Amino acid sequence: MRVLIVEDEPFLAEAIRDGLRLEAIAADLALDGDAALELLAINTYDAVVLDRDIPGPSGDEIARHIIASGVGTRILMATAADRLDDKESGFELGADDYLTKPFVLRELVLRLRALARRPRATLPPVHEAAGLKLDTFRREVYRDGRYIPLTRKQFAVLEVLMSAEGGVVSAEDLLARAWDENADPFTNAVRITISALRKRLGEPGLIHTVAGVGYRFGENA
């Protein structure tokens, strides 16, 4: 197992590195964000022990870079930020585990070995079509580079439509896939959500009604 330690406190970083090496875990060291990015570009790591508050590109930026690369490197955030909100934001960034400082080296070793046993998950897809980009991992939508805020339901409907890759999706299918099992089959929620989604996405329109059939995503009707 090969690990990158991203930590700006030299004594702590070296102690972690030396401790991991004693446990037969190969460990490299980066004392700032720039050094971390350089090492990530050169080497393949099974995991990164990542402090969020570091000089240069922040730990959060490093995490985003790792996720965007799609290489499957595990991220274990090791930081003094111990509030639940901090942990939540860390996991939302893509962290696989979160360890608050101070910690015992043995616990870090156990967590790293547990991460190594997990099968590498495939990243959720990014859908791109007609100038629109829908990132299912970050739950973000952009049109021609412009961020478009959507409600959860609008995002879910758009994801279903874009996943169809130009195919027509019926209102019934949208209701089944974007709402829960308790949704009223006679509701007009789909029509209302589609209308609001069209307004959010702007012109020219990208969601087209196929009379008597359903809805289709694309540039042309």
Tens of each residue's pLDDT in the chain, 221 residues = 889 999 999 999 999 999 998 887 888 999 999 999 999 988 888 899 999 889 989 999 999 888 887 778 899 998 877 678 888 888 888 888 988 888 899 999 999 988 887 766 555 578 899 999 998 777 889 999 999 999 888 998 998 899 888 899 998 888 877 875 556 766 788 999 999 999 999 999 999 999 989 999 998 75
Distances (CA, A) of 122 to 69, 71, 72, 125, 141: 12, 9, 8, 9, 20
Residues 88 and 8 in one domain: yes
Residues 22 and 65 in one domain: yes
The DSSP letter of residue 3 is: E
Domain end among 93, 117, 141: 117
pTM of the model: 0.56
Q: Which two structure tokens, joined as six digits, stand for 2? A: 């090969």
Domain count, the chain: 2
State how far the Cα of 30 lies from the Cα of 116, in Å rounded to an integer. Answer: 21
**The domain containing residue 99 runs over which residues?**
2-117
Residues 99 and 133 in one domain: no
Domain end among 68, 94, 117: 117
